[in-house]
Structure formats: structure tokens, C-alpha cells
Chain A
Amino acid sequence: MDGVNDTAEIVKDFLIESLEGLDQVDQDLMDLEREGPDAERIGRIFRCVHTLKGTCGFLGFSVLESVTHVGENLLVELRDGTTAVTPEVVDALLALVDAIRLMLNLIEQTGTDGEPTFQALIARLTALTREHADAHGAAAAAAASMPTSETAEGTHPPIGELMVARGDVTASDVSAALHEQEQSDALLGEILVQRGYTSPAAVREALDVQENNVDIKSSAIADSSIRVDVALLDKLMNLVGELVLARNQLLQSDGRFDAAAHTGTTQRLNLITTELQEGVMKTRMQPIGNVWNKFPRVVRDLAQACGKQVVLEMAGAETELDKTIIEAIKDPLTHIVRNAVDHGVETPIERVRHGKSPEGRLIIRAFHEGGKVNIEIRDDGRGIDPEAIKAKAISMGAVRADAAAQMSDREALHLIFHAGLSTAKTVTNVSGRGVGMDVVRTNIERIGGSLEVSSVVGNGTTLRIKIPLTLAIIPGLIVTTGGSRFVIPQVNLLELVRLEGADAVARIERVYDAPVLRLRGRLLPLITLTEALGVDRHCGKSTDDVTNIVVVQAEGTAFGVIVDAINDTEEIVVKPLSVQLKGIAAFAGATIMGDGRVALILDVHGLAQSRGLLARGDRQAESRVDQRAQEAHSQQLLLVAVDDTHIVAFPLDAIARLEEIRSSQIEWTGSQEVVQYRKRILPVVRLDEMLEGIIPSLGRAESMPLIVYEDSTRSIGFAVQRILDVVAVEMDTVGASGTGMVARTAVIQGRVTDVLDVQSLLATLDGRLPASLDTVHHDEAAHA
């Protein structure tokens, strides 16, 4: 038995190693094609194929060995310079790589390298090899002209071989069908169906696989393992060591309880846990390049098939993401890239006619920003014509004509994500994008991401994707309703609205029987969570004169959820619901709270759907588009009064939370005012003292609002006199640019307002704040 297991283990290693090596070969081959012969690259390709041949010979995969053998022969000649690197040679070698991948996947699934013998490919490779071409010229030429046209294209695995590999038909069926194909013009799939060898559905499926090339059935083995930096593992090991020490301390203190020592240990435990959590998350982080390394090939093949020239540039391949997210964005990204080449970039002739270089450019960029990963896919193609999209949307009944007339170009562009539009083939021809973009958007949003598109007709299209780093631990807002706690994921959160007394009665109105809220001039549909969940409103204590509304969005539709109380934001660990509860659309999962009790995580999307908020057709689609466009164009600002006369604006995205503190809470460390806040020491900076030309007046106030800023290294509370409002201001239309801590000055709501530059504000503070507060070790500082 051991022997069998050993062999299985060796085969597994062989598969993982080979698949990794093939990715590199793909890349090298394309570099060769673009930049001409390079001894080092050829050497690398040769070594990989050679190793592969040796190992599979040893393991007894004879078909694989025979195919790699002819490939190796060709590569030897390339290495020695006796055969030149021509496009045909590269094509053939890429076809070889595909064939090897196909067989490796076969080996993984079935344990053997299968029935397809790849005769056509072998003949093709042999024909290109000079020595053999001389000797067997005639035979090779005959073989190369064999009717397996799919192989000759070199870009996709032949449909026959694919179907054999998938177990749909046998190899003999295929060869019979191929024989018949020689006599007729029929497609191989058609013949197979006519002869009753297989079903139309199976052919369609195989064609899908072929279309998407090999990456759709990428190896499960390669996906099941992960490479981790040894230094990271060492660090984790050290942390676990510390954890054990902390545990020992806790165990020893058992019985004779010493409050001070206990608190110290708990603090250490807290630190260790946080670092351990971060460390373990890091082990799951993979560079996004793992997905991207397939793109050069996809772009090359597709560009060739469409008769286009496309240069692919990629930046930020080292940007890291959780493995599950990498998996989840693989297909949407591939789809977008294919779309860009297929529909975005024009043919060389068309490009030259428009005064562009014949080569189209496709730029993919990834970078971290604000705790999220941004991916940008930009082409310099023909762009999307908003008028064409509008016309299509109207003709399909997705949007009313009068509504379309009022749409901005930006709003119109976002119609490409509309489900109805995407299925129409004609849109593809008119606009360039559309097929399956709604699916792309759904997939991206499912992992908590968002999608933005911008385009200039004639100049190209840019898609921007924002996705979270991880899914396992997410920030969420804890709310209470009907006596139970629920978590609303922060990604769905737009804002919180609190209405008191008469205000609530006045602002919540009804359209027929649906409650709506007037929020900054727009009507926001409302859901009462107790009603939506069918629980009794009055089993929890709720003060009747306050209405708490959590404004959330799903698929771009904003709506308000009325809850009894809003508690706090917390990092929660997402756990799936058991099969008994899977069918409830309103919940995305569950989590365990600090007190050990279970709380349910709301699925905002499901909630909206169950209340019929997403199914209302065009009106929703419009407002969704509208809102997105608005977000992209404008900046959200928090207006605050610093003293009686000065109003300044804080960029909303720089603010973590708003709090209210009392003067009596303020303590001192050295000359710095601080408050204890969420078990940390939060330095308090009085904004009036920081800004020039303002006479400090906050000192006398009994309580004051605190704007909490947080980043990875520090948190600071800015004390102000009053918080006035949140406004959205057009980015590029406001005011004169300012100096120093003021980014610019603008007239907002009829008053002259300084918009603060948070970065320079922080830079000014860097020297002022005590160093110990600038680090994450707030907890330790508290007990120093």
C-alpha cells in the first residue's frame, strides 16, 4: 500500500511542478515571439520540457513522453540556432504547452495520460524540426495538412481531443468522425451528434471549454496548495510560542488572582492574537499576478483570432489578495480582458485611419488603496458611445426615452451592467461591451467589490474594480432589533440616519403603503427590519421617539433599514449557516460575538430582494446608475463648525467614526490631551488650535464632537465645536486651491468653507504627538 501512496505523492508533486513550469514557458514563448531569439529564454523552455519528458517517462506516461519528445527535438534546434524562431514555431510550441496541460489535467483526474495521441501536433512539430523535415518531409507535410483544422489553429485544444478527455466520446469515434469530415464540410461536433456518438449538449459544453481555453478547468491540485514565505512561517511560529507563554501565565495565576498581572497578560494576549491573526491571513495572501500570468496568452490568442495587434502591459502584479478572492475574480477579470481585446481595441487598419498606432494597448494595473485592492483595466480602443447604449436600452424597454434623455453620459455607460442589455448581441457590435457584464458585476459584488466604468469615444475605456483584501474577517455594524443583534457588513453601508421625535413623523412618508424617507432631496425606500424578519418589534426595549435608519446599498440600489438601536462597528469572523438555514435569503452567515453568543449577518442583497426592492425595473436602475455616477464625480465632505464663525470641511473618506466626548473624559499625557477610547489612548487634537487665524474657544465647552481618524499606524481624534452636515461636492468645480492644511476653499451651502487636506494636517501633527501614541501598541501604553 505504501508503494502506491508514494507513487501518488510523486505524481502529485510532478503535476504541481509541471503546471507551474508551463506557466513560465507560456510567458517565455510569448516574449520570444515579441522580442526575438534569446538564448536564456530558449534554455529555460528547453530545461522545463526536458525535465517534464524525463519525469513522465519515468512515471510511465508514454503519450505525454512521446509528445514532449518531439517538442524537445525542436527546442534543441532552436537552442543550437539551426532552426529560426518563427511565428509558426512559437505557435506550434504554444499548442504543445496546451496539449501538455490537457494531459496533466487528465492525469490528475484519471491517473493516466489518456487516449488522444496528438498525432497532428506531433506531425506539426516534426515538420518544423529541420533534421526530420529533411528526412520525412513528405510524410510530415501530409500529416500537417490533416483535416484536424482545430489543431492547426494552435490556439485551442482540438474539440475532438477535448471531448475524448472529457469522456464524452471515445477516440475511435473521433477518428471515424474526422474521416467523415474530410469528405464533407460539416463540423466535427455536428458529425459526432449525427452519428449518435454524443449529445448536442455535450458538444456545446466542450465548445465552451475550448472557447475558454485550458484555464477554465485549471488543475485542482495546483489550486489546493499555496506557497508561503519561510520567514512568515518563522514569525508565526514565534507568535505561537508567545501565545503558549501567555497561556502558561494565565494558568499559573489561576487561584491567586492578581488584577494587575492578569490585565497585563490579557493585554499581551490581545496583541499576540492580533499579530497572529494578521500573520495567518498573510499566509493566504497571493500575488494577483497568479491570475494575470494567464492573460498574456489569452490576449495574444484572441488578438490573433480577431486580426488585431494588442500590447498588454501589467503593473502591480505583486499586489496581494486572499486566495479565495483571487479565485473569485479570475473569471470576471478574464471576461473583461477578453471583452477589451474583442470589442474595445480596433483593427490595425481602423486604428491607423483614426490616427492611432496600429498596435492597441491594454493596461492592467493593481494597487492597494484605503484597505482595498484596486484593479484597473484600460484600453485605448474605440470607447463606448453612450448614445448607442441609450438607444439600445430604450429599444429593449430597460429605460424610458424621457429618462434616457436626462441621463448623463456616465449614467448611460453604467447601463452596460444592466442584465437585460447584456444578453443582446447587437449591443456588442454597437457599444463594444455588454455581453455578460451584469454577470461580471454580480460576481464582483458578491465578494464585496464594486465596479466603475469610464470611457471616451475614440480614446478607450477604463474599468475600475475595487475589492476587499479578504472575506473571512470583515468589518460590520452591529445593530439591535426585536431584542436580537444583527451584523450589517460594512461594504453595504452608506450612512446612518437618526431621527428624533417629531422629525421622524415628518420625514418618513408613505407612497401607497411603502414607507420612504426624504434624504437630501431624494426618496429613500425604507424597510423595517422587524417586519422584514417577521419578529415582534416590542420584545426588545426601544425608545419610541428615536428612529434609527441604516442606509445600505445592494446592487447600487440604496435603501434604509429601520432598526431599534445601532450599537457599534466590529471586526467579525464570518461563519457559514448550516444547510437547514441556507434557504433564508436575508442572512449571509453568522458570527460569534465577544460575549460568546451567536449573531446573524444580514444579507443586504437578499433582504432587498425579498422586499421587492431590486425587482422594480427601470426606476431602480436609473437611480442606481445615477447614484454611482454621482459618487464617482463628487467628493463627500463633512461640514463642521470649528468656532462660531469658521466652517471647515473634512473629506468623509478620511473619517473612521464620529464620537461625542465630555470635557471630564479628557486626560493628559505630558502636554497632550487624550481620551480613553475603545481600550486605547486616543490623542485629542483641537482643530481650532491647529488652524491659523482662529482664536481657540473649545476649551470652555462641556462636551464636543470628536472626528476620529484612523490608519494602520495611528488614530487621532479631532475635536470641533459642532458637526453640521454631510454634503456631496463636485470635485473639479469647487473653489480656489488653498495652502498648507487647507486643500482648497469653496462656497458650500452659501458659506465660504475651507476643505482640509488631511495628509498635511497629519504631517503637521507628526512632530507634536508623543511617539508612543503613534504606534499600534496603545494597549501597552495604557499600562506603562
Chain B
Amino acid sequence: MPETTQFCTFRVDDLFLGIDVQRVQEVIRSLEITSVPLAPSSVEGLINLRGQIVTAIDLRRRLGLTSRLSEHEPMHVVVRGDDGAVSLMVDSIEDVIEVDPRDFERVPESIEPSVRDLLAGVYKLDTGLLLALQTDRAVAVTTATI
């Protein structure tokens, strides 16, 4: 019996995405954001997370989706990385769910390559498809790759 993995799931636009729960430090409501001029477009800005300055990345822009409606308050999924914490801004938070590795499938080739790079794979759930985010790639935004 293979071990199951827990995923922290959330929605961005009409996508149902998840990150391995081990990587998630915390989930917080929207904070005041200081925008950073000259930054890559997907970097929304900097937030003050209890005295720690954390870069916030808008997943909508990272995935090449349309901008969030201004009245919709985003959530921050703060993930741990090698270079400190990074926040991924999402539309709404869903449950933490357990997935079975046997339901795993690779990302279909038909998906836009820029987006496919950010995904680790797809889990076929009873309720729909869960896109597992390739966290390290998602936060790897540099000024050179604008």
C-alpha cells in the first residue's frame, strides 16, 4: 500500500491547485503590500510577515491568467523555500486533502508549455482534477525572466 500525500489545495481563477502540505508554512489573509518597481510582473510586492519581509507572487499572473477582480481579496499561501519564505497569492483556500499516488498522472502535453513547466502533475480525484504545483519552479521568478 503506497503512502498517501497531503496537499494544501486552493483555487486560482477556475484552476484547482495544490501544494504538498509539508512545504506550506502558513496561510494568511491579505496583508498590506508594498509594490516593487522594476520587479518581474508576477511579483506583486513585499509583505511584512511578523517582522520578516516576504516576497508575494501573484499566481494568476505567474500562470498567465487574467487579473483578479479588485473587490476579490486574495489569500497568501506562504511556502518555505531554500532562500526563505515566499508567498503565493491565490483566490481562495480549499481543504487539505489526501491523495493517492496511484491517481497521479503526468501533465498532458496539450497544456501551454509555460504553464506546464510549473506543474508537477495531475491527480484524478472523484470531484475533479487536482493540479499539483511545482513549488520551486513557481517561486523561481527572476528579473532576467520577465
Interface residues of A (CB under 8 A from B): 482, 484, 533-535, 575, 577-584, 586-587, 590-592, 596-600
Contacts and interface: CB of A to CB of B under 8 A. Distances in A.
**Interface size range of chain B in the complex:** 20 to 34
Contact of A580 (B38, B48, B52, B55): B55
Contacts of B36: 581, 584, 587, 600
A274 to B, nearest CB: 17
B37 A534 contact: yes
A66 B140 CA distance: 52
Interface stretch (B39-47, B103-111, B116-124): B39-47
A587 B36 CA distance: 9
Contacts of B37: 482, 484, 533-535, 586
B34 interface: yes
Contacts of B86: 578, 580
Nearest to A485: B34
Contacts of A535: 37
B57 interface: yes
Interface of B: 32, 34-40, 43, 45-48, 51-55, 57, 83-84, 86, 139-144
A593 to B, nearest CB: 9
Q: List the 10 shortest-distance A-B pairs measured between CB atoms, nearest first.
A: A583-B143, A533-B37, A598-B34, A578-B55, A598-B46, A579-B83, A580-B141, A535-B37, A575-B53, A584-B38
A125 B122 CA distance: 71
B51 A580 contact: no
Contact of A598 (B43, B48, B84, B142): B48
B141 to A, nearest CB: 5
Contact of A579 (B34, B35, B47, B142): B142
Contacts of B35: 484
A586 B38 contact: yes
B38 A596 contact: no
17 contacts: A578-B54, A578-B84, A579-B83, A580-B40, A581-B39, A581-B43, A581-B55, A582-B143, A583-B142, A583-B143, A584-B36, A584-B39, A590-B46, A596-B32, A596-B48, A600-B34, A600-B36
A581 B145 CA distance: 11
Contacts of B46: 590, 598, 600
Interface centre among A484, A575, A579, A582 (most CB of B within 10 A): A579
A535 B139 CA distance: 24
Contacts of B141: 580
A410 B35 CA distance: 45
A578 B142 contact: no
Contact of B43 (A575, A580, A596, A599): A580
Contacts of A597: 32, 34, 48
Contacts of A580: 39-40, 43, 55, 57, 86, 139-143
Contacts of B55: 577-578, 580-581
A535 B34 CA distance: 13
A579 B141 CA distance: 8
B120 to A, nearest CB: 20
A592 B32 CA distance: 12
A517 to B, nearest CB: 23
A663 B47 CA distance: 42
Contacts of A533: 37-38
A579 B40 CA distance: 12
Most buried by B among A575, A577, A581, A597: A581
Nearest to A486: B37
B144 A583 contact: yes
A755 to B, nearest CB: 44
A60 to B, nearest CB: 37
Contact of B53 (A583, A584, A586, A592): A592
Counting chain B CB atoms within 10 Å of each CB, the highest count among A534, A580, A591, A596 belongs to A580
Contacts of B34: 484, 590, 597-600
Nearest to B51: A592
